[in-house]
Structure 1
């Protein structure tokens, strides 16, 4: 590629070349020719039914969720723009004793996959046998570990047990594979296996011998892994890691993931386990971090949150998650895969809790119960800000991802110098997207870019964006369209706003763009174009430049020939969904989490009222669960309803400063000598909380939300530990719903250990300045409702 960068830091000129035709038929992956909805893996992207496909996958562990929450979590995933979910099949959960398999209740893999399909989601089955996933022995059953076979190798005794386990999994998948018209499109072999390519290849052979036929076979490729040619390597990227040492302020490789680069590997993810369990220490200078032109750039573990360990407790933010994900698209990713997309709860087995721990030979002690991971959808269904930030990207990929996947990536400026402009372009030679970022976490922020202007040379045009130099503030990441076709006749030459989605109402098509806070919105149209609505037009060099009159928002429509462009602000974009409601795709604006199922709209508000706006607007919106009122002021073409619920928050306690009489002394353990989580709570502070029955009754879910500071805590109902929390700066949520009656009768007991600076636990600098000891500023009950809303069109209502 030819890149000509001018020396001025914020005035760049670059050339984006057209992609080369991809190689085909060189990989033992994909469906046979003639297969319905055929999936093919090329050297550049994945194709489906003859068109490039940009999968969006999120990790959801069915065995770590209550079965009655599966549909809700999958609904949020689909509403968040995912088209695929991945899930570990944890061997220890399904074969707790040799030869005795369990596939019932919350372990019903088949039912989970069928439910995913009902929500419009395909499935990647991560079959193990070893999973990691912060599980006890990485998911291996205790009996297997005790048997002493050479696991994760081609040892005959081990493979015989694997064959039995795989046979059970594949039996659950009968009739559900892609070749059979089902949702299972792929399988992953083992996880984070670095030096056994023959074994990885053997695992696929065993699965195929047992009858599994899927088009996509993967293995994790990070850490310099040796992946055989029969598997597609998939990669990771995290903004921080609990597995780092407590002396690490920020992992060296983390900053790399906020830059554009076609390098796919990350040597730090799982490095502690490589060293502690396998004795492998990688010399970064000896590992070639390569761009393999024979394989597409696919990911499976973009960190959409982060777990905590006792010794190190990262505080990953929603903004970090969104910026990292967009940076990977700007780096050439053709498959966005997130870990975790929905948090869960660690399982309990015959040996107690089933988490990774020093007691089982691992370098980290993690919470015994909570596996929340600060995921977009939390352990108890909490929908977080990054669910919305990612959804904006996913709506864009659903709209134009087929074209984007086949575009060539040109990575340009921006290294470690915080003043340098970081940019890349993805283009097919005729059109594309310009990626720019001034975002990096607060510990190493980037500078703003004053007077920014970039000129991109395409094969048949030169596009300068913006038309006049513009200041870009620090802390933003954008993907600006270049020569995007609004209609067959009208081209959006450039925009300083991002494509979100498009939808049609009775008046025609609507293209939705999102403004970026601090960046003036400018649209440039090719040719002389009639502009109406909130757009003010001026002509420049044969093009029409449109500036907004007023501010972006749900009513900011620029009316153009054959199309309307709706320019929304970031807050509106974060509440915007595109869902199929009552038989047609609609834009949905809601100030509570929503998802669609069976043509209806499901909301989970935690406030006493919620507003819902739809476009195209149906005639009515009704519910049997709540009172629905039509808003008195209607901003056409939207229509808005107010829904009154019995949700809300109730203060239970405040201003507590409990004292721990005899906290245990710090201890170290595990193969790396890290701080161990205390197990002795006999000297902990005890807080007895009465829970009025009316606060946990009559709603879909009742959470106890504890705002506190300290070291670690656990919550008991009766004698059972129902939740635990390693304090790291966030509130602590526990779900009282499964224990409503017992919690109302017996209350909840918190056992809390105090914060002590000298212990050496790492927490984020932004929350380190807390007093030693324990504080509990507030304990609330958060009542979450479930409201099913039904929309009706005129023809249906009057029939």
Structure 2
């Protein structure tokens, strides 16, 4: 997973440290196996990733009791406040965590750059200050200390000497919302540019407004602090009563809108899904509002629970490569927000981030649950109100912006050296830029968005060769236009600058791996054990791979063969086995629909895995296309997966159970869909028949293939 995260352009990863997993019994700590925090941090460093440690003590993360051990909850002491007995136990926990990080912090040359204190604690600023003090008492020294800052959170004042940077959130949907609403009220705001950083759907106390924070506290949303995010929705979890279907396009549009609104640090929740030990997830039985799947925490993330690489892995990587190339210039730029009312579908949404001379124009006709209207013959006149010292008309020639597009265009981007050309505007996104040909030439890579004609306006009349139609404007600048994106092999030359324009398909395949530009049909990352080597993760037996030769300014292509990888159809019949609908019930503090526990009437389907697939060391999964209510998967009687149907395929990891599968089948227990149950699913998948329908099943063999330096 860490290699795949790095291949997606991430520069840091964050992880909760769940108290219940590490101190299952009072005073008995476990840092072994999957709980080995120190090994996780070292592996992250080996992949070139920094680490943010979310210390807790309370974490949430849809964990039972928010990650508190049962013995702590049952102890009857006040929790999440400055109570002496609670703080005594926290000191013991923090001491153990920080011992695992010895020698690995940024001050020691290690990867740990930040620590998050607690999570979603809105009204205890003095307790947050106490927790940071305890961590420092145990020797933790990191450059950044953070606390979640939504729901009008109160943080300690900076003059107290223990500042905590507020980190923000933004989700396209929420499983925690009521099943009676199609789109939670908080969601729409995240798809237009805004100056409000707070997500007012969560946290207490809701009545506090900017300027009204009590003595000894500061309102996080009003703090004079950089706009940092830690929970941009990388997808969304599902609960039994409400099962969102957040699309890859939703994730990418929300993330880009956040940059347009001024973000200087993009943090996701979740970027990679995972599996939770059975019984440790949130449940009504534990006194929480909703039931969630017992094991799966896939989250619809860019990297799925079982390392499935989804479309938004590539979509977000395009943004990450741009931010890696331009982030140091972008970060100090202020954002000016434009556009009309959030509920007006006719209004273009736009924002400008600029330092006065150069900058970025953000444009959006995207929103979930129905896009905004297309913009015909679009042209904006920007000037002092938007922060530009010199008035500018963008684009140079009016063009049409389709519905459902979220994009960002460069303004007055200096290319090459001090005397190089200036790109006044391009109606394409900057993907990356790098020095080539021994450093004497700069390569600029752009992404052409589908349906958006590519224009490049260059200052003056530089000599230009290569594809495209050239003309000189009345202002004496040169306009270069394309009817289609030229492609990775067709470079525009302008002095010591080369420009490559990719369509979205190729842009989603492009990565920068160990400072090499790579085009690949499967995810690629650097091999931490072999300098110059590459690792390809594939479920296809053949991978197209191209590495850009900077010196020769051309691609070197090869085919990588992974003969044991592949996807095999193992069930092609549309099965509709009979199943009984359990009696619906409600529970929890908010009376929401509860997950059924009676599977006596479930449809039972057995899948036998052929013996030849149970050898080798790759990953083995089953992928199911089905509709129903709840599915459970068992091997030899043991629960290995649970799925609340919500429109996505169901993937079940078989790798740890290879030996058991030699003698036992994979047994599916499937409860039927009933449209009248009151369960909310996305409008796009609601029109499914009642009952159980198992349409297809595939066996997936995924290989991690090493490629020699090239």
Provide TM-score, normalisation by structure 1: 0.84
Q: Give the structure 2 partner of residue 783 of structure 1.
A: 701
Q: Give the structure 1 partner of residue 184 of structure 2.
A: 251
Q: Does structure 1 residue 327 correspond to structure 2 residue 244?
A: no
Match of 1:639 among 556, 578, 598: 556
Match of 2:238 among 305, 308, 311: 308
1:607 and 1:476 map into 2 onto residues whose CA distance is 31
Q: Given the superposition, is the C-alpha separation of residues 671 and 569 from structure 1 closer, same or farther in structure 2, using an over 3 Å criterion?
A: same
Q: Does structure 1 residue 650 correspond to structure 2 residue 546?
A: no
1:660 and 1:131 map into 2 onto residues whose CA distance is 41
1:215 and 1:577 map into 2 onto residues whose CA distance is 29
Q: Does structure 1 residue 395 correspond to structure 2 residue 321?
A: yes
Contact 2:436 2:551 in 1 (8 A): no
Q: Which protein has greater RCO, CA pairs closer than 8 Å, 6+ apart?
A: 1
2:141 and 2:87 map into 1 onto residues whose CA distance is 20
Q: Does structure 1 residue 294 correspond to structure 2 residue 228?
A: no
- CA apart distance, 1:281: 6.5
- CA apart distance, 1:247: 0.4
Q: String of CA shifts for 1:422-475, please: whole Å, max 9, x gaps.
A: 11000011100000100011x232100111001222554222111111111001
Corresponding residue SS for 1:555: strand
Corresponding residue SS for 1:160: helix
Contact 2:448 2:485 in 1 (8 A): no
Contact 1:439 1:476 in 2 (8 A): yes
Q: String of CA shifts for 1:213-260, please: whole Å, max 9, x gaps.
A: 111111111011111132111110000000001101101121100000
2:659 and 2:311 map into 1 onto residues whose CA distance is 32
Contact 2:105 2:141 in 1 (8 A): yes
Q: Does structure 1 residue 421 correspond to structure 2 residue 421?
A: no
Aligned residues: 687
Q: Give the structure 1 partner of residue 424 of structure 2.
A: 493
Contact 1:654 1:776 in 2 (8 A): no
Contact 2:454 2:485 in 1 (8 A): no
Corresponding residue SS for 2:688: coil
Q: Give the structure 1 partner of residue 500 of structure 2.
A: 566
- CA apart distance, 1:293: 6.1
Q: Give the structure 2 partner of residue 194 of structure 1.
A: 122
Q: String of CA shifts for 1:341-361, please: whole Å, max 9, x gaps.
A: 11000124xxxx100000000
Contact 2:354 2:388 in 1 (8 A): no
Q: Give the structure 2 partner of residue 575 of structure 1.
A: 509
Match of 1:542 among 459, 470, 476: 476
- Structure 2: tracts of 5 or more residues without a match: 158-162, 214-218
Q: Given the superposition, is the C-alpha separation of residues 713 and 282 from structure 1 closer, same or farther in structure 2, using an over 3 Å criterion?
A: farther
Pairing of 1:424-503 with structure 2 (within 5 A) = 424-441=351-368, 443-457=369-383, 459-488=388-417, 489=419, 490-503=421-434
Pairing of 1:764-775 with structure 2 (within 5 A) = 764-775=682-693
1:222 and 1:759 map into 2 onto residues whose CA distance is 33
Q: Given the superposition, is the C-alpha separation of residues 459 and 769 from structure 1 closer, same or farther in structure 2, using an over 3 Å criterion?
A: closer
Q: CA RMSD in A?
A: 1.9
Q: Given the superposition, is the C-alpha separation of residues 299 and 284 from structure 1 closer, same or farther in structure 2, using an over 3 Å criterion?
A: same
1:618 and 1:600 map into 2 onto residues whose CA distance is 19
- CA apart distance, 1:659: 3.3
Q: Does structure 1 residue 78 correspond to structure 2 residue 9?
A: no
Greater alpha carbon shift after TM alignment, 185-194 vs 545-554: 545-554
1:213 and 1:563 map into 2 onto residues whose CA distance is 44
- CA apart distance, 1:702: 1.1
Provide TM-score, normalisation by structure 2: 0.94
1:178 and 1:502 map into 2 onto residues whose CA distance is 28
Match of 1:368 among 286, 294, 300: 294
Q: String of CA shifts for 1:611-636, please: whole Å, max 9, x gaps.
A: 001101799xxxxxxxxxxxxxxxx8
Match of 2:596 among 678, 688, 692: 678
- CA apart distance, 1:525: 0.7
1:210 and 1:322 map into 2 onto residues whose CA distance is 39
Q: Give the structure 1 partner of residue 463 of structure 2.
A: 530
- CA apart distance, 1:657: 2.9
Corresponding residue SS for 2:493: strand
Q: Give the structure 2 partner of residue 707 of structure 1.
A: 625
Contact 2:581 2:674 in 1 (8 A): no
Q: Give the structure 1 partner of residue 170 of structure 2.
A: 237
- CA apart distance, 1:568: 0.6
Match of 1:666 among 577, 584, 590: 584
Q: Give the structure 2 partner of residue 154 of structure 1.
A: 82
Greater alpha carbon shift after TM alignment, 287-296 vs 206-215: 287-296
Q: String of CA shifts for 1:378-434, please: whole Å, max 9, x gaps.
A: 110001100110000000000000000011111111322111111100001110000
Q: Given the superposition, is the C-alpha separation of residues 287 and 134 from structure 1 closer, same or farther in structure 2, using an over 3 Å criterion?
A: farther
Contact 1:259 1:414 in 2 (8 A): no
2:479 and 2:366 map into 1 onto residues whose CA distance is 28
- Structure 1: tracts of 5 or more residues without a match: 1-72, 275-279, 620-635, 793-799
Pairing of 1:43-122 with structure 2 (within 5 A) = 73-122=1-50
Q: Does structure 1 residue 553 correspond to structure 2 residue 487?
A: yes
- CA apart distance, 1:557: 1.3
Q: Given the superposition, is the C-alpha separation of residues 207 and 727 from structure 1 closer, same or farther in structure 2, using an over 3 Å criterion?
A: same
- CA apart distance, 1:200: 0.7
1:388 and 1:414 map into 2 onto residues whose CA distance is 30
- CA apart distance, 1:660: 4.4
Q: Given the superposition, is the C-alpha separation of residues 286 and 482 from structure 1 closer, same or farther in structure 2, using an over 3 Å criterion?
A: closer
- CA apart distance, 1:791: 2.0
Q: Given the superposition, is the C-alpha separation of residues 521 and 109 from structure 1 closer, same or farther in structure 2, using an over 3 Å criterion?
A: same
2:221 and 2:174 map into 1 onto residues whose CA distance is 24
1:787 and 1:562 map into 2 onto residues whose CA distance is 37
Q: Give the structure 2 partner of residue 137 of structure 1.
A: 65
Contact 1:663 1:681 in 2 (8 A): no
Q: Given the superposition, is the C-alpha separation of residues 751 and 284 from structure 1 closer, same or farther in structure 2, using an over 3 Å criterion?
A: farther
Q: Give the structure 2 partner of residue 718 of structure 1.
A: 636
Q: Does structure 1 residue 593 correspond to structure 2 residue 523?
A: yes
Corresponding residue SS for 1:402: helix
Q: Given the superposition, is the C-alpha separation of residues 175 and 607 from structure 1 closer, same or farther in structure 2, using an over 3 Å criterion?
A: same
Q: Given the superposition, is the C-alpha separation of residues 339 and 550 from structure 1 closer, same or farther in structure 2, using an over 3 Å criterion?
A: closer
Q: Give the structure 1 partner of residue 134 of structure 2.
A: 206
Contact 2:149 2:221 in 1 (8 A): no
2:682 and 2:208 map into 1 onto residues whose CA distance is 28
Match of 1:218 among 146, 150, 157: 146
Contact 2:22 2:31 in 1 (8 A): yes
Q: Give the structure 2 partner of residue 740 of structure 1.
A: 658
Q: Given the superposition, is the C-alpha separation of residues 347 and 618 from structure 1 closer, same or farther in structure 2, using an over 3 Å criterion?
A: farther
Q: Give the structure 1 partner of residue 193 of structure 2.
A: 260
- CA apart distance, 1:282: 5.8
Q: Does structure 1 residue 692 correspond to structure 2 residue 610?
A: yes
Match of 1:505 among 427, 433, 436: 436
Q: Give the structure 1 partner of residue 160 of structure 2.
A: none
